[in-house]
């Protein structure tokens, strides 16, 4: 009987050793390692703040961020050049099928809501616009001839405008691409007949500490009409949160890791209380924290 016990013991140990040899070995964990990620360039200032805090908490983590137009972020994701991407849409059905083919197991979450701000020159008389007027400007048929400036030809901004606002109608010949959101602000500030579309964090004063949010003085931020209630709204945080402001979109992370790696660690941080607070301070509305929006009455007496 002893020899039989010895055989079973050897078989048991062989199984354990074999399992250990077959277990996947990864160079990174939730809090350390080296990875590359790609981020929609519209969110560079916010992501830099997120990374600064993440690095201070996890000094053994090295995340290299590549800021690109949204279309290129998705390309990096499928080419296995980016473990995680930050973009403004979910994967399409065709992209999910491609994930199956490439043995990618995506996970995603909406982590914040952003508004698209419409800006005009300070000398412009158009400070209130409805959606029909905005569509007319973008297609070049509006009564006033505007030069429309967007951040990049392959950006999430252009995709949102064509898909959600124009619903497939082609942009007019009066639409031009700049080199980024800051260049859009700069161009509009210097050209009376220009109108620009930028992420709403680019129209807030960085030095403002009031919490309410103060718009920059370089340009004029347009109030847009909500077709549902007939009211005009600017891209203030509360109006974006309630979707009263007509042009809003979600920011998502899409992760490709099938294990608890550094990409997952950064994604977890973005959805954590600390990461959500950074979105809040950047004037986006955090979607993974419990916030209560209350109406305030002003007493003029």
* Burial class of residue 193 in the structure, from the number of CB atoms within 10 Å of its CB (0-12 exposed, 13-18 middle, 19+ buried): middle
pTM of the model: 0.84
pLDDT value for 23: 46
Distance CA 240, CA 40 (A): 20
What is the per-residue pLDDT across 159-217, written as a single tens digit (0 to 9) for each?
A: 999 999 999 899 999 999 998 899 999 999 999 999 999 998 899 987 554 445 689 99
pLDDT value for 26: 76
Q: What are phi and psi for residue 105, nearest 5 degrees?
A: -110, 90
**Which long-range CB contacts under 8 A does 21-26 form with residues at least 24 apart?**
24/259, 26/259, 26/261
Q: Determine contact, residues 231/225, Cβ cutoff 8 Å.
A: yes
pLDDT value for 291: 59
Q: Determine contact, residues 224/246, Cβ cutoff 8 Å.
A: yes
Smallest Cα–Cα separation from 249: which of 159, 131, 128? 159
Q: What residues of the chain score a pLDDT lower than 70? A: 1-25, 207-213, 290-301
User: How many CB atoms within 10 Å of residue 116?
Assistant: 25
pLDDT value for 24: 55
Smallest Cα–Cα separation from 157: which of 175, 141, 133? 175
pLDDT value for 27: 86
Cα 90 to Cα 72, 106, 164, 250, 252: the distances in Å are: 15, 10, 14, 9, 7
In the chain the domains, ranked by start, together with CATH numbers, are 33-113+249-286 (3.40.190.10), 115-248 (3.40.190.10)
Distance CA 207, CA 114 (A): 20
pLDDT value for 130: 96
Q: What are phi and psi for residue 58, nearest 5 degrees?
A: -125, 80
What is the per-residue pLDDT across 278-292, written as a single tens digit (0 to 9) for each?
A: 999 999 999 998 655
């Amino acid at each position: 009987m002893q020899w039989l016990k010895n055989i079973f013991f050897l078989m048991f140990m062989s199984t354990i050793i074999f399992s250990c040899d077959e277990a996947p070995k990864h160079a990174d964990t939730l809090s350390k390692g080296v990875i590359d990620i790609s981020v929609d360039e519209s969110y560079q200032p916010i992501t830099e703040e997120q990374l600064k805090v993440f690095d201070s908490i996890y000094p053994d983590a090295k995340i290299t961020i590549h800021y690109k137009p949204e279309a290129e972020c998705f390309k990096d994701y499928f080419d296995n050049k980016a473990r995680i991407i930050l973009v403004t849409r979910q994967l399409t059905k065709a992209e999910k099928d491609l994930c199956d083919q490439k043995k990618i197991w995506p996970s995603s979450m909406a982590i914040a809501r952003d508004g698209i701000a419409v800006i005009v020159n300070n000398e412009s008389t158009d400070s209130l616009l409805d959606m029909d007027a905005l569509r007319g400007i973008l297609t070049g048929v509006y009564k006033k001839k505007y030069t429309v400036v967007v951040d990049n030809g392959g950006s999430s901004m252009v995709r949102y405008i064509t898909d959600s606002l124009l619903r497939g109608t082609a942009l007019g010949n009066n639409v031009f691409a700049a080199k980024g959101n800051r260049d859009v602000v700069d161009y509009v500030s210097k050209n009376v007949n220009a109108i620009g579309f930028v992420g709403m964090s680019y129209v807030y004063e960085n030095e403002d500490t009031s919490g309410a949010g103060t718009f920059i003085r370089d340009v004029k931020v347009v109030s847009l009409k909500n077709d549902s209630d007939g009211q005009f709204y600017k891209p203030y945080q509360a109006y974006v949160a309630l979707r009263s402001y007509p042009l809003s979109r979600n920011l998502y992370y899409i992760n490709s890791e099938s294990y608890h790696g550094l990409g997952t660690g950064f994604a977890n941080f973005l959805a954590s209380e600390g990461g959500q607070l950074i979105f809040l301070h950047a004037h986006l509305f955090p979607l993974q924290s419990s916030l209560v929006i209350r109406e305030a009455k002003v007493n003029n007496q």
